Amino acid sequence: MSAEAVIQGGVHTDERHDSAHKHVTGQAEYIDDMMEPVGTLHAYLGLAELAHGEITKLDLADVAQAPGVVGVLSAKDIPGHNDVSPTGRHDDPVFAHTHVEFHGQPVFAVIAETRDAARRAATLAKVEYAKQHHVTDVAEAMQVDYPHVTEPLKLERGDVGTAMAGAPHRIKATQRVGGQDHFYLEGHIAFAFPGEDDEVTVYSSTQHPSEVQHLVAHVLAIRSNDVTVNVRRMGGAFGGKESQPALFAAVAALAAKRFGRAVKLRPDRDDDMIATGKRHDFLNTYEVGFDEEGRILAVDGIYAARCGFSADLSGPVTDRALFHADNAYFYPHVRLRSRPMKTNTVSNTAFRGFGGPQGLVTAERMIEEIAYHLGKDPLEIRKANFYADEGRDVTPYHQTVQDNILHQLVSELEESAEYASRRQAILEHNAANPVIKKGLALTPVKFGISFTATWFNQAGALVHIYNDGSIHLNHGGTEMGQGLFTKVAQVVADCFQVDLDKIKITGTTTGKVPNTSATAASSGTDLNGMAAANAADQIKARLIDFAAEKYSIPEDQVVFEPNTVRIGNERKSFEEFIKEAYMARVHLSAAGFYKTPEIHWDREAGKGRPFYYFAYGAAVSEVSVDTLTGEYHVDRVDILHDVGRSLNPALDKGQIEGGFVQGMGWLTTEELWWDAEGRLRTHAPSTYKIPLASDRPPIFNVNLAEWSKNREATIRRSKAVGEPPLMLAVSVLEALSMAVASVADYKICPRLDAPATPECVLMAVERLRGGA
Amino acid sequence: MSTPRTEIRFLLNDRDVRLSAVGASDTLLDHLRLAQRLTGTKEGCAEGDCGACTVLVGRRTGDQLVYGSVNACIRLLASVDGCHVVTVEHLVGSDGALHPVQQALVEHHGSQCGFCTPGIVMSLYALWMSTLAPSVEDVEVALQGNLCRCTGYQPIIDAALAVTEHGSPANDVLVTQRGAVLERLKSLQDGARVEVSREGDMAILPSNVSDLAAVLTEYPGATIVAGATDVGLWITKFMRTISPAVFIGHLEELQQITITDHAVTIGSGVTYTQFEQVLASEFAHMDEFWSRIGGWQIRNMGTIGGNIANGSPIGDTPPALIALGATLTLTSRAGRRVLPLEDYFIAYGEQDLQPGEFVETVTIPRPAPGCLNAVYKISKRRDEDISAVCGAFSLTISDGIVEAARIAYGGMAATPKRASQVEAALVGKPWTEETVQRAMAAFAKDFTPLSDWRASAEYRALSARNLLRRFYLDHQGQPVRLVRTSAA
C-alpha cells in the first residue's frame, strides 16, 4: 500500500448524497411508497370551517355511514391526553373538542377502506358553531390585548434610555416580515401498524422521531416503550416536520390500535398547508440611535410574532429572533423584547432559521435607515458597526463574540464581487433610466449554533461492526435531504479508515437510539457526527487493546490505515482484523454519545453563552426593478460562506445555494394571505409561489471561505450549515430596496416590507415618488 | 354507429394495459401508484403545479410519435387511450445503468431530499429528447413546471447542460424501440368510440367530431374534457363528479392549424405547445408571454379551446386573443355559429354556450403590417403563475394618429374584458405621451377590480394603467423591459 492511499469517501471530500442513485431512479422509498399490508385503512382529517368559536354540535352520522367508512374518531375517542404540545403546555389538541381556534383546525378523523373514500366522507360532517370574534393579524392582536401564547423574553445591556436620548440621530419605525410555508415536496404522512399488547409502530415523516414517540404515547395513554417511530428519509422538512408530525402520527396510531389494522394518514397538499404551522410572521418596532458616522449608539426593539392559537415552538422561536436582532452588529446599549402573540391562525412553528431571520432582517433594516438618513452606502454603515475587538464584542445576551471573521470575509467578497465598481455603474444606470432601476446590496450573516434549550444539545449513535467487517451505522439524526447520513457516514469511515461503501446507513428509529433531539437548529452533523465518532472510538479502543495485548506491542503501534490495520510491522485487511477480534470475543458494537460543552443559558437573567460558536457568511445581490409594475429580476448573486473545515464541500454548497433561494422566496414571492373570515387563501402551489428554476440568480457565484476552521473542537472543525445561508437572501430584499430608493434620489429609506412582492415594490415606488 | 369499445388500451413502459373499469375521474397518477405500484412517480400537490408526478405521454399522429411531459396527477386515466405512458422506472437500462439524464443529476449533486427528483428527471428527459444542446433558458423553460425546495436549482441546471457527457440517445429506450412502439400503438387504435365506466362514473371518447356532436346531443350536460388542466382540479381538489365526461384530447380534427391570407384558424383541441409552431411567424409579440402560461407540462396538456370555454376571468389567452379580434366557431348537431370572442363571456361563470354546443375552432386574424401588438402578464412569480393582471394591446397608427385600438384585460373584471373607454380615449388622437396620460385616466371607467390573494384592487388598477404606459414607451424605443441576465 502506498503512503498516499486514502479511503474513498472520507471527510473533507465531495462525496455524493448516499441516496442520489435511488432519487434519480425513483427507487428511494418514502412512506407513501411503502408496501401496504392487506387490510390497510386510510384516515383523513375533518377540518374546522370557522376561525374562532364554540362547537355547538358535531354530527358525524353521515360521515360514519358513507361508503367504505370503517369508523370516525373525535376528541372523546382519545384514551390519553388530547394534546400534542411539544413543550408540555397542553394547549395543542389533536382534535378541537369544545372550541375551535383557527380555520382549518382538525375536529375529527374518518377511517375508511381507501383514502378517496375517507376524504369524501370527511366532507359530510355536520358541525355547528357559535361564532366568536377572530383575530388573525398580529397588530390587531396587540391592539385588542390578545394574550401571549408563551412568556416573552427581554434582553438588555447598558442604559438604552440615556444613550437613545443622547444620540445625535434617532429613527423609529416598524417593519412587517411575512411568514413562510415550508412547502416540503413530500407532505405530512404517518403510517401506523398495531402490535402486540399496547405496542404500535409508526412510520412518520418527521425530523423528531423521539418527540413523535413520546406524544403518541401521551395521546394513547401508553408508555414510550410501547411506541417505535421510524423514518428512513423525508421529502424535505425545513422545520415543518419537527413538532407538526405528531398529530398525524397520533391519529394514525390511535386508529391502528382501535381498528387493529394498519392505518395511513396523508393529507392533501391544501389541507397540509392549511392545518400545519409555518414560519412566524413578525411585526417589529425598532428605534435606533446613531452618530454622524453611522455608528449605532442604542437600539430598542419589540419583536411581535403571529404565533397562532397555541405555543408550539413559539417560545424558542421568538427567543431566537431576539438572539439575532443584532445580526453582526455591536449595540452599545440595547433593549430587545419579544411579544409572542396569540392569533386565530394555525400555530406557527419551526422553519429554517427558527425566528433568527425575522430578527436579523430588522438589524439590516436599521442599517438601511442609517445609511439613507446620512446619505451613505449601507455597506459603509455595516462595516462601522461589525462586532470587533474588546469593548465592542458583547452581544445583547452577554455572550462574547470570540470567533468573528466577518471583517476578512466581507472584504474578500467585496473584492471578488467587485462591489464598489458595480455600485457605481448601477448609480449611473439609474440616473439614465427612468423605468428600469437597479439595486445592489451586500449583507452579512452571523448565526448562533446550538439549541438555546441547552438540554437538546445531546445526541446518540449506535455502531455495529459485523464479523465480516461490514459496518452498521445508526444515529438519532434524520435525513431530510441535507445529506446528514452521508456526512456522518464519512466521519465513521474516517474513524475506521474504511471506504464509505463498507458502511451501511440505516433509517432513524427510536428503538436503536433513544431520547434524541430534533434534527434541527443546523445541529444534525455537529451532534450526531460527534456521537457516531464517539461510538466508533469506543470500538476502536477495544480493538487496539485487543491487538496490543495479543501481539504484545504498544497501543500506538496499532494503527488504522486505509482499509487496513497495521499492527507493529504487520498489516491486515480490516475484514481479517475484525474476524480475528470477533473470534477473540471483542465487543464490536457501541452506543456513542455527545453533549455540546461550554454552553449555558439563564433565560430569566437574559445572560449566558447559549451558542457554542457562530457561523458566518455574506452575499452580494444585484436586481433590476420595473418601476411601472414592480416586477423584478435577480440578476446576480455572489456568496462567500463559512462552514469551517467542510466535511463535504459539495453538500455544503448545496445547502448554501438551496438555503439562499429558499430565503429569497421568503422575502419576495411567498405570501401568506388570509381573508376576512380568517381563512388562509394561499394554500397550494397554484396560489403560494415558491421560487422556480427561472427565479434563481442567473449568475450565482457561491464559494466557501476555505481558510475558515472552527475554533471550537467540533466534528473535524466543521461548522453547521443548514440555516445560516437562508439569511444571505436579505441582500436581495435590500437590493430591491435600493432600486426603489433610486426614484427619490436615495434620500428616503424605502422601508420595503417582506415579502417584497411586485405589488409591495410598486407601492413603495409610488410612496417614494409621492415623497413619503 | 358501430358498437363502442368498452375498455381503454395503452402502453405503459413496455407493457400493454387494457382496462374496462375506468371512471371518468380516475387519474393517471393514482393508477400508476396504487394499481401498478409504480411509486417512482410522486404526488406533490395534486393540481399540476409542482411536477413531482411528471411522466411522458406519447401519442401517435400518422407515422409520428410525439412525446410530451404531463402532470399525471391531473391527467385523467381515460385520456391515455391509445398512448404510450412512460414513467421514471422505464429509464434505467436493462443492465441497470443509469440514463444519461439520471447520471448527470447524480454527478452534479442535483438531488437533496429526492422527492421532486423523478419528476425533474422526466422533464429533463423530455428536454433531452427535443434537444441535445439546450441553452440555460431552454432548461429553465423545461423546468417551469417542476418545483424543487432543496437545491435552489443550480446543480439541476448544471446537470441538464451536461447530459451529453454521460451518454448518447443511441441507447435510449424510446429511440431504439420507437418503430416497435409505433406499431404497437397502431394496433391499439380501432377508430371506435370508447365508453368506459366504474361505479357509474362514465367516460366517453368519441370517435370523431361528428360523433362528439352526437354524444353531446345524447348527453347535453356532459363535461367536456380536453387537457384536464382545470377539470383535473375539480376532481382532485373539489371532489366533484364530472360524469358523464366526454374526452376530446384525442380528436385530431380538433388539433388542426390552418393559415390563410388573413387569419390563423386553430381547432379547439390545439394545445399551447402545438400553437407554438405558429407563434414566431404569426404572433411574435406573444412569444415571451406564451412561455409564461403554466409550466411545460401544462402547455403540453392544456388547450386554447379549453382556456376559453371554461370562462375563467383570469385565463391567459382570452385577453390576448380578444385584442387580436379572434372569433369562435361554436358547433352542435344543429350547426355552427360564429361570434366575437369577447361576446362569449357574458358574466362570471356564464358563457354564450348552448347545451349540446362545443367550441370547434378559434379564428385569429393575422396582425396587419404596421399594427402594434403586445401582451403583458403580471404575476407574483414570473413563470408558472396565474395573472394578477394581463393586458393585451393591438393598435393601428397611421400618420401618428391612433386609427384603431383593441385593448383587453384579464384579472380586472368578472370576465376577460375590453377596455372600451380607454380605446375611445385613444382612437383618433395623436399617439403621444399626452394622449396616453389621458387614456390612462379612463381605466377607472372601464374596470373596478377586486382584491384577492393575487393582488389588491389598488395594485391591479395602477399596474393596468401603467401597462399602457409601458406599451407606449416600448414603442418609443425606451428601455422598459426587464431583461434576464444570462450566465457569463
- B462: chain A residues, CB-CB within 8 Å: 762, 766
Q: Among B41, B109, B378, whose Cβ lies nearest the Cβ of A631?
A: B378
**Is residue B288 located within the same domain as residue B353?**
yes
Question: Is residue B202 assigned to a domain?
Answer: yes
Q: Which CATH number is B77's domain given? A: 3.10.20.30
CB B86 within 8 A of CB B68: no
Q: How does B173-184 read in b/e, with b if 16+ C-beta sit within 10 Å?
A: bbeeeeeebbeb
Between CA A86 and CA A223 the distance in angstroms is 17
Q: What is the pLDDT of residue B249?
A: 97
- CB-CB: which of B105, B154, B463 is closest to A629? B463
- Whether residue A271 is contained in a domain is answered as no
Among candidates A635, A673, A696 on the partner chain, residue whose Cβ is nearest the Cβ of B153? A696
Chain A: nearest CA to B49, how far in angstroms? 6
Q: Chain B residue closest to A432 (CA)?
A: B479
**Of A562, A595, A628, which marks where a domain is finished?**
A595
Domain assignment present for A338: yes
Give how far B451 is from chain A: nearest CA, Å. 10
B402 vs B435: CA distance, rounded Å? 10
Domain that includes residue B260, residue range: 252-365
Average pLDDT over residues A24-47: 98
Name the phi and psi angles at A642, rounded to 5. -105, 115
| Closest CA of chain A from B41, distance in Å | 7
Q: Which domain holds residue A585?
A: 20-27+458-595
Locate B188 and state its grid cell: 391499439
For the segment B417-431, the average pLDDT, to the nearest whole number, is 98
Among chain B residues, CA nearest to A435: B480
Q: Write down which residue in A266, A291, A313 finishes a domain.
A: A266
The domain that holds A116 is classified in CATH as 3.90.1170.50
Inter-chain CB proximity A17 and B109 less than 8 Å: yes
B133 lies within 8 A of chain A by CB? no
Average pLDDT over residues B276-286: 95
pLDDT of residue A667: 98
Give the domain CATH number at B290: 3.30.465.10
pTM here is: 0.98
Does residue B380 form part of some domain? yes
> Residues 37-56, chain B: which have Cβ within 8 Å of A?
39-47, 49-50, 52
Residue A727 CB partners (closer than 8 Å, separation 6+): A353, A356, A357, A360, A361, A445, A447, A663
Number of domain units in chain A? 3
A693 closest CB neighbour out of B39, B92, B143: B143
Interface test with B, best of A27, A628, A648, A681 (most B CBs within 10 A): A628
Confidence of residue A352 (pLDDT cuts 50, 70, 90): very high
Mark which residues 86-115 of B lie under 8 Å from A by CB.
Answer: 87-89, 91-92, 98, 101-103, 105-107, 109-115
Domain match, A463 and A448 both: no
pLDDT 10s digits, A711-760: 999 999 999 999 999 999 999 999 999 999 999 999 999 999 999 999 99
- By the CB < 8 Å criterion, does A234 face chain B? yes
Cis peptide leading into A758, omega within 30 of 0? Answer: no
Contact B155 A657 (CB under 8 A): yes
Q: Provide the pLDDT for residue B487.
A: 60
Judge if B80 and B221 occupy the same domain: yes
- Beta carbons of B149 and A690 less than 8 Å apart: yes
Extract long-range pairs of B30-33: CB within 8 Å, 24+ residues apart. B30/B77, B31/B77, B32/B72, B32/B85, B32/B87, B33/A32
Q: Are A530 and A488 in contact (CB under 8 A)?
A: no
User: How many of the other CB atoms lie within 10 Å of CB of A686?
Assistant: 19
pLDDT of A545 over the 60 cut: yes
Q: Are residues B49 and B185 in the same domain?
A: yes
Residue of B nearest to A695 (CA): B382
pLDDT at B93: 84
Cell, residue A222 = 401508553
Please answer yes or no on whether A269 and B386 come within 8 Å at the CB atom: no
Tell me the chain A residues in contact with residue B456 when contact means C-beta distances shorter than 8 Å: 759
* Same-domain status, A569 and A620: no
Closest to A268 (Cβ–Cβ): which among B46, B50, B141?
B46
How close is the nearest chain A Cα to the Cα of B66, in Å?
Answer: 23
Considering only CB atoms, which chain B residues are within 8 Å of A758?
A: 378, 380, 388, 463
Same domain, A483 and A466: yes
pLDDT digit string (tens) for A499-529?
A: 999 999 999 999 999 999 999 999 999 999 9
Chosen domain end from B247, B262, B285: B247
Contacts with B, A 403-442, CB within 8 Å: 433-436
Q: What residues of chain B lie within 8 A of the CB of A68, using their CB? A: none
Same domain, A86 and A218: yes
The two beta strands, B335-340 and B358-365, are unpaired
Pairing of strands B327-332, B358-365: antiparallel
8 Å CB contact of B155 and A119: no
Question: pLDDT (tens digit, 9 = 90+) per residue, B42-59?
Answer: 999 999 999 999 999 999
Taking the Cβ of residue B478 and every Cβ of chain A, the question of whether any pair is shorter than 8 Å is answered with yes
Local structure of residue A292 (DSSP, 8 states): T
Q: Is A121 a domain residue?
A: yes
Q: Going edge to edge, which strands form the sheet with B358-365?
A: B257-259, B263-267, B358-365, B327-332, B335-340
- Sign, Cα dihedral of A285, A291, A295, A298: negative
Given this model, what pLDDT does residue A772 score?
A: 64
List CB contacts of B321: < 8 A, sequence separation 6 or more: B304, B308, B341, B362, B364, B392
What chain B residue is nearest to A664 in terms of C-alpha separation?
B152
Number of compact structural domains in chain B: 4
To test the contact with chain A by mutation, choose from B149, B173, B237, B240 the residue with the greatest count of A C-beta atoms within 10 A, namely: B149
The model's confidence at residue B62, banded by pLDDT at 50, 70 and 90, is confident
CB contact under 8 A, A689 and B482: no
| Whether B311 and B448 share a structural domain | no
- Regarding whether B269 and B121 lie in a shared domain, the answer is no
Would you state the torsion angle of the CA atoms of residues B295, B297, B298, B299, taken in this order, to the nearest 10 degrees?
80
Query: Is the Cβ of A763 closer than 8 Å to some Cβ of chain B?
Result: yes
Is A186–B151 a contact, with Cβ atoms under 8 angstroms apart?
no
Q: Are residues B210 and B317 in the same domain?
A: no
CA distance A654 to chain B (A): 6
Give the CATH number of the domain where residue B456 resides.
3.30.390.50
B348 and B329 in a common domain:
yes
Q: Which residue has the cell 393517471?
A: B28
pLDDT (tens digit per residue) in B64-122: 999 999 999 999 999 999 999 999 999 998 888 999 999 999 999 999 999 999 999 99
Q: How far is A449 from chain B (nearest CA, A)?
A: 21
Beta bridge partners of A296: A290
- Percent of chain A surpassing pLDDT 90: 99
* A632·B482 Cβ contact <8 A: yes
A349 near B CB under 8 A: no
Q: Does B152 touch chain A (CB under 8 A)?
A: yes
A559-606, pLDDT tens digit by residue?
999 999 999 999 999 999 999 999 999 999 999 999 999 999 999 999
Domain boundary among B118, B145, B171: B171
Q: Judge if B65 and B206 occupy the same domain.
A: yes
B167 and B184 part of one domain: no
Instruction: Summarize pLDDT for A619-654 with one digit per residue, the tens.
Output: 999 999 999 999 999 999 999 999 999 999 999 999
Asked if residue A158 is part of any domain, the answer here is no
**pLDDT tens-digit series, residues A278-309:** 999 999 999 999 999 999 999 999 999 999 99
Q: What is the pLDDT of residue A771?
A: 76
Inspect the interface and report whether the beta carbons of A20 and B106 lie closer than 8 Å.
Answer: yes
Interface test with A, best of B113, B115, B459 (most A CBs within 10 A): B113
* CB within 8 Å: B154 and A696: yes
pLDDT of residue A1: 44
Asked if residues A56 and A128 have their Cβ atoms less than 8 Å apart, the reply is yes
Is residue A568 domain-shared with residue A705, that is, in the same domain?
no
Instruction: With CA atoms as reference, report the closest residue to A298 among A332, A262, A249.
Output: A332
Inspect the interface and report whether the beta carbons of B39 and A636 lie closer than 8 Å.
no
How confident is the model over A659-698, as pLDDT tens digits? 999 999 999 999 999 999 999 999 999 999 999 999 999 9
Same domain, B319 and B445: no
Identify whether residues B276 and B296 lie together within a single domain.
Answer: yes
Catalogue the active-site residues of A.
723
Q: Does residue B43 sit within a domain?
A: yes
With CA atoms as reference, the chain A residue closest to B470 would be A628
Both A208 and A227 in one domain: the answer is yes
Check pLDDT > 90 for residue B485: no
**ipTM of this predicted structure:** 0.97
Interface of A with B in 461-480 (CB under 8 A): 480
- Select from A17, A25, A183 the Cβ nearest to the Cβ of B40: A25
CB A290 within 8 A of CB A68: no
Size of interface A-B (CB pairs under 8 A): 280
pLDDT tens column, B120-152: 999 999 999 999 999 999 999 999 999 999 999
Q: At what angle do helices A649-667 and B154-161 cross, to 10 degrees?
A: 120
Give the pLDDT band (50/70/90) at residue B1: low
A159-185 per-position pLDDT tens digit = 999 999 999 999 999 999 999 999 999
End residue of a domain, out of B110, B145, B171: B171
Best mutation target among B166, B381, B436, B470 (most A Cβ atoms within 10 Å) is B381
